[in-house]
Amino acid sequence: MRALAILTLRNEGAFLLEWLAHHKQVGFTDFLVFSNDCQDGTDQMLDRLQDMGELTHIRNDGPYGKGGIQFAAYKLAEKHPLMQDADWVMTLDIDEFVNIHVGNHTLEALFDALPEATAIPLTWRLFGNAGQIRYNDVPITQTFFAAAPVVLHWPWRAAMFKTLFRNDGTYGKLGVHRPRNPDPERLKDQRWFDGEGRELPEKFARTRIFSNYGQSNYKLAQLNHYPLGTMESYVLKADRGRAVHEADRLGLDYWVERNFNVEKDRSIQSLAPEMLAAMDQLKADETLAALHQQAVAWRHARFEALLSEEPSRALFSRLLMTPPSQPVPEQAAKFLTHHANKARVNAAETSGK
């Protein structure tokens, strides 16, 4: 069984070795990684890892077209031999970690639990900042344990998922959250199951990008999402911009919708000993270890430079002043959902005129 993880990166070399080591233990056999416009040496790290046989690196230097950087990378991935040879495929970001709760916590265990599945959307579980200010070179999965509650009624974006799907030719294109461009004839054979083991309705196989929020989605597996990190790291993330929506600058709105620190979740520690050993093995390569330290040093230097600029300094100060986010009560969430649905219907009616 060949399982391919597809990753896009820019200036995130300090987090690369942990992400790779973890997902190797999860059971991904192949990694197709795209870099663009890196100043921290991420591209050099990827070149070294490719020389070591750990992954395949492609520089995604543009032009990007209307879809932006990430979709340009996915177009390249769709034609790559690794994509053609993969049995299962998943697109991921560097702040997302597959976390399987059954068996030995690997993909094989998840497939054994869901033998009829052709796709398994893994719902985000958001991990908050937990008041951590300065960035240190410590693994993310060993640092952040405060998470959103298992049942979160709002915002709907908290229930977004990434899809692990069987590469059987049903879908013609890759997407950020799900495979796209399905063959209508093949759709009848698709069976989607969520992280609770529930079979999902057909709309998930076609267009859906988020799970039903206000319910548990994590019994068998979840996707640990660390979108914030430390406050220092978030300032750098805002400076880097978003891979899909390049014009959108991250601010407090993004932070507040994700900074939930309500429950402790240490379940990803099930693979921590193996992950840490794999990281140590990668760092045993002197060239790679030096490049990792270069990426760490770049982050510290870049943060110092950003604090000389008012927009970044203002953002950092607001992060320091903003308390953790509180879950919206169920009744208030229903009120918001009602008006969101009403607005969606009105927009559809207007566009149809």
pLDDT for 97: 99
Residue 348's pLDDT is: 76
Task: Determine the pLDDT at residue 64.
Answer: 87
Whether the model pTM is above 0.75: yes
The verdict on residue 70 lying in a domain is yes
Residue 32 to residue 25: CA distance in whole angstroms = 16
pLDDT at 242: 65
- Identify the pLDDT of residue 244: 53
The pLDDT of residue 257: 97
**61 in a structural domain:** yes
In-domain check, residue 130: yes
- In tens digits, the chain (353 residues) has pLDDT values of 999 999 999 999 999 999 999 999 999 999 999 999 999 999 999 999 999 999 999 999 888 888 899 999 999 999 999 999 999 999 999 999 999 999 999 999 999 999 999 999 999 999 999 999 999 999 999 999 999 999 999 999 999 999 999 999 999 999 999 999 999 999 999 999 999 999 999 999 999 999 999 999 999 999 999 999 999 999 999 998 765 545 567 999 999 999 999 999 999 999 999 999 999 999 999 999 999 999 999 999 999 999 999 999 999 999 999 999 999 999 999 999 999 999 988 887 777 65
Largest CA distance in the chain: 64
What pLDDT sits at residue 62? 82
| Residue 278 resides in a domain | yes
Q: Is 332 domain-assigned? A: no
CB atoms within 10 A of CB 271: 24
Does 336 map to a domain?
A: no
Domain for residue 178, yes or no?
A: yes
**Based on the structure, what is the number of domains in the chain?**
1
The pLDDT score that the predictor gives to residue 350 is 78
Looking at the domain assignment, is residue 222 inside a domain? yes
Instruction: Identify the pLDDT of residue 275.
Output: 98
Helix (H) or strand (E) holding 38: none
Q: How far is CA 349 from CA 33, 44, 316, 335, in A?
A: 42, 51, 42, 21
> Side by side, which strands form the sheet with 56-59?
56-59, 30-35, 3-9, 88-92, 161-166, 119-126, 221-225, 96-100
Q: By residue range, what is the domain housing residue 129?
A: 3-326
